[in-house]
Amino acid sequence: MSAKPLAVVILAAGVGSRMKSENPNAAKVMHPLAGRPLFNWVLDTAESLKPERIIPVIGPDMPDLAAACGPHKPVIQKTRDGTGGAVRCALPVLKGFKGNVLIVLGDAPLISAASLKKLIKARESGLLVGLSVLGAAVEDPTGYGRLITRRDGSVEAIIEERDADPKQKKINLINTGAFCVDGGRLARWVEMIVPHNAQNEFYITDLPEIAATEGFLTQSAIASDPSEIVGCNTRADLAALEFLMQQRLRAAAMAGGVTMLDPTSVYLSYDTRIGADTVIEPHVFFGPGVSIGAGCHIKAFSHLEGATLARGCSIGPFARLRPGSKLDEGVRIGNFVEIKKSKIGAHGKINHLAYVGDCTMGPDVNFSAGAITVNFDGFQKHETVIGKNVMVGSNVNLIAPLRIDDGAFIAAGSTITQNVPADSLSIARDVTKIREGWAAEFRKRKAAMAKKMKAKKTDGRKR
C-alpha cells in the first residue's frame, strides 16, 4: 500500500427508483445482499484499506443508511445532481487533504480491496498522473461507458455508450465508476465540471478531460475480476448480485474444508462460520449470526439463524434453529424440530416433532416426539430449566416457568405445571375410563340416523 494518506468517498445517495420500493426515500444501498446491506459490503472493503477518513455521501431522510455508516459521519447530498455533485458535497470534509482520494460507488458491493489497491498504485505511477480510473474487461459492454486507452494504459477518454461510434462500441474495456484522484487537486477539478445534459447533472467522468487541460494524465487499472463491477439498479440486478455473492461464499467455505453436496442450493450469510469436515446437504439456508463447529452434519431443508453449534452436532432434515439457539457438542436435532433462544446440553437428543423455546437444557437429555415447552402465556415469555440426564416422554407439555431437576422422568402425555425434583417420575394425565360396547352402540345410532335422513329425503321427492 501507498505511504500517502488515503481518504475514501462512498457515493450512496441514490433512492433507486427502479427498485420499486414503496418508501420514496428508501436508500438503494440498504437492500440486503447475503444478509447485510449493499452499502456495508463496500464500507467493509473501504475500511480494510485503513484510510485516514471515510466519507459516505447519502441523501436526505435516510436514517437507516446514516446509522449503517457507523463511526463515519456522512455528508448529505440534498440535490441529486450526479456523481460530480455528490463528490462536491464531500469537499468541505476533504479541505486541506493532500493524499489520495478514492471514489467508489455504494451500489457495487463486489469491489475488492485488491482492485482498489491497483487503482491507488495506478494513480501513483507517475508524477504527471493526476488520477486513475478502474476499468474491467467484460464480454458484453452494452450499457457501460468505454475506456479509450493508449498503449501505456493511460486514458484518452471515457465515452458513454450513447456518444460512442460503432468502433468504440466494440471496445470491451468499461468504466466501473471507481476513481482515485490527487487530493490536492480534486476540489479545483470538481468545481470545473459543467453539465452536458438536460438533467443538469455533473459527472466525475469529466475529470480526465479536465485534468488533461492542466497537463495531467489519467491512468487505468484493471479490476481483478470483471464480476466486481456489477452494480444494482433493479431487483433483477439484486438477484444477480446475490447469485455472484453466494458463489463466493460457498467457494470460501469449501476451501476451508466444508463439504456441500449441492452447493448451488445452499444459501449463506455474510457472517456464516462453518468448521472443517462439516457436511451440508441440499437446500439449507443460513441466516445471519450462525457459527458451526467442526464435524457437524446439517441435513436437507434446514433453516438456521442466529445459532451456535459446537463440534459434532447433527441437524435436520427439516429442522429450524431460531436466534439464540446454542447447541453443545454432539447434540442431535431431528426432523420437524424448532429451537428458539435455548441452550441444549452436550449429547442431547431432540429427534422429531418438538418445540423448545426459552429453555436451558442440561447434557444427555432425551426430549421425545411431540413434546414442547409452553413458554408464552399471552403476555410474557417464561423459561424452562431442565437438568442433566432427564427423560421427557412423547406429547409432553412443559408449562413455563418450570424446573425439572437431574435424572427426572416425565411420563408421556403429561402436562407438567409444577417443578419436578431430581430422579422423580412426574405423571399428569386424566384417569383412563373404559366403557365396554360404547363404540358399537355409537355406530348403531349413527347408522339409524343416516337411514332416517335418507327416508325423509325420498319421501320429500315423492310429494
pLDDT confidence of residue 1: 62
Q: Is 192 contained in some domain?
A: yes
Choose among 137, 126, 140: nearest CA to 219. 126
pLDDT, mean of residues 443-453: 91
Q: Is the pLDDT of residue 212 over 70?
A: yes
Torsion of CA 142, 250, 284, 359, to 10 degrees: -130
Residue 347 among the catalytic residues:
no
pLDDT-based confidence at residue 195 (cuts at 50, 70, 90): confident
324 lies in the same domain as 375: yes
Is residue 155 located within the same domain as residue 268?
no
- Is pLDDT at 427 greater than 80 in this prediction? yes
Same domain, yes or no, for 167 and 286?
no
Q: What is the pLDDT of residues 264-274, one digit of tens each?
A: 999 999 999 99
Per-residue pLDDT for 219 more than 90?
yes
pLDDT, residue 458, reads 73
The verdict on residue 175 lying in a domain is yes
* pLDDT category of residue 461 using cuts at 50, 70 and 90: low
**111 and 223 both lie in a single domain:** yes
Report the range of poorest mean pLDDT among 46-60, 376-390, 418-432: 418-432
Q: Are residues 181 and 265 in the same domain?
A: no
Domain assignment of residue 134, yes or no = yes
Closest-CA residue to 133 (of 153, 119, 146, 143)? 119
Strand 155-159, strand 146-149: pairing:
antiparallel
Of 25 and 343, the structure prediction assigns the larger pLDDT to 343
In this predicted model, what pLDDT tens digit does every residue of 370-402 receive, in sequence order?
999 999 999 999 999 999 999 999 999 999 999
DSSP string, 338-379: EEES-EE-TT-EEEEEEEEESEEE-TT-EE-TT-EEE-B-SS
Q: What integer pLDDT is reported at residue 453 of this predicted model?
A: 87
| Mean of pLDDT values over 282-304 | 98
Let me know whether 294 and 185 are in one domain: no
- In a shared domain, residues 212 and 260: no
What integer is the mean pLDDT of 428-450?
89
Q: What is the pLDDT of residues 302-317, one digit of tens each?
A: 999 999 999 999 999 9
Q: What is the mean pLDDT of residues 337-346?
A: 98
pLDDT band at 463 (very low <50, low <70, confident <90, very high): low
pLDDT, greater one: 250 or 24: 250
Predicted model pTM: 0.89
Question: Mean pLDDT of all residues in the chain?
Answer: 94
Lowest mean pLDDT among 191-200, 253-262, 308-317: 191-200
| Residue 434 in domain | no
d(CA 299, CA 318): 8
Q: Is residue 462 scored above 70 in pLDDT?
A: no
Distances from the Cα of 173 to the Cα of 145, 217, 224, angstroms:
9, 18, 13
Task: Identify the band that residue 239 occupies on the pLDDT scale cut at 50, 70 and 90.
Answer: very high
Q: Does residue 24 sit in the same domain as residue 106?
A: yes
Beta bridge partners of 403: 385
Give the tens place of pLDDT for each residue, 98-116: 999 999 999 999 999 999 9
Q: For the segment 161-183, what is each residue's pLDDT rounded down to a tens digit?
A: 888 999 999 999 999 999 999 99
Task: Please report the pLDDT score of residue 16 as a whole number.
Answer: 85
Residues 25 and 166 in one domain: yes
User: Does residue 301 share a domain with residue 171?
Assistant: no
So what's the pLDDT on residue 307? 98
Whether residue 419 sits in one domain with residue 293: yes
Same domain flag for 62 and 135: yes
Residue 287 sits in which domain range?
A: 256-426
**Residue 347 has what pLDDT?**
98
From the candidates 72, 297, 347, 352, which is the catalytic residue? Answer: 352
Residue 42: predicted pLDDT: 98
The pLDDT of residue 143 is: 86
CATH number at residue 134: 3.90.550.10
Average pLDDT over residues 352-356: 97
Predicted confidence (pLDDT) at residue 460 exceeds the cutoff of 90: no
What is residue 224's predicted lDDT score, i.e. its pLDDT? Answer: 87
> Is residue 75 situated within a structural domain?
yes
CB 293 within 8 A of CB 310: yes
21 vs 199, higher pLDDT: 21
Number of separate domains in the chain: 2
At residue 290 the predicted structure's pLDDT band, cuts being 50, 70 and 90, is very high
245 within some domain:
no
